[in-house]
Amino acid sequence: MSDLGNWVGIVTGSAAGIGAATARMLAARGAKVVVNYTKSLADAEQTAVACKAAGGDAVLCLADVSDDSACRKLAQTALDTWGRIDGLVNNAGGTKIVPHANLDGLSAEDFLWIYKVNVVGAYQMTRAVAPAMKAQGRGAIVNISSIAGVVGVGSSVAYAASKGAMNTMTLSLARALGPEIRVNAVCPGFVQGRWQQQWHGDAYPQRIRDEEAGTPLARAGSPEDMAEVAIMLLTSCANVTGEIIMSDAGRHLGFAAAKAR
């Protein structure tokens, strides 16, 4: 399906995981995508190759979204290459894995770094693309948040708090940037992949089985599951802004009774 041939988007943190899946799926519909990375050049190159093989186009851009000048560089890369910006996916993020009960496991510096990437970075990227979107009369932004920001779980208290802030920021920006720009958020639950493998180690297969047993849809999510929702919000849903959509196989419905991990 090639219905996005004139569409240009930026996906931050798109070397792997949800970001890479989003870039590939956009390219499969003919889109042109800026593939962003900070450290994983080889992965980013693979994503760009996959985008081109899928029928779209891609350009790489090294940029740390916690740096405002790097965010402006990302936006300018899209404009210099293709002359427009139709969509932005704020996917880049960071965390520190600390059990929530370990209050001494997080420092003020940990909180500030996580906020700088997850919240300030998304804000700076939004600010960087907004003028082009406003000038062309339309645009869409999707923030990749987390169920952690809704129910207070996840890799650390700092991470959950940052995603809660991202959700609130989504509402604020949806009000501020309309009518030309729509702003929405996707809140993934468990997502299979390398990051979860690194977090859970040998317990990773059991973690997948727990998700499959503990969700109403009896499944553990994939990066592609999250990308589908993000792309829906980016490229259709013209009457939707300020929405926070959970994509977690219904896991949030059971948090009152289930043990949060």
Q: Minimal CA–CA distance to 38: which of 119, 98, 96, 92? A: 92
**Can you list the alpha helix ranges (DSSP code H) found in the chain?**
17-28, 41-53, 68-82, 108-115, 121-136, 148-151, 157-177, 194-200, 204-214, 223-235
Q: How far apart are CA 225 and CA 190, in angstroms?
A: 11
Q: How far apart are CA 256 and CA 251, in angstroms?
A: 10
Query: The sheet that has 87-90: what strands, in order across it?
Result: 57-62, 32-37, 8-11, 87-90, 139-144, 181-188, 244-247
Residue 123 known to be catalytic: no
Single-letter amino acid, residue 114? I
Q: What token pair was written down for 81?
A: 């290459």
List the catalytic residue out of 37, 115, 123, 159: 159
Q: Minimal CA–CA distance to 63: which of 129, 1, 112, 8? A: 129
Torsion of the alpha carbons at 45, 80, 140 and 236, rounded to the nearest 10 = -70
Q: Which residues are catalytic?
A: 159
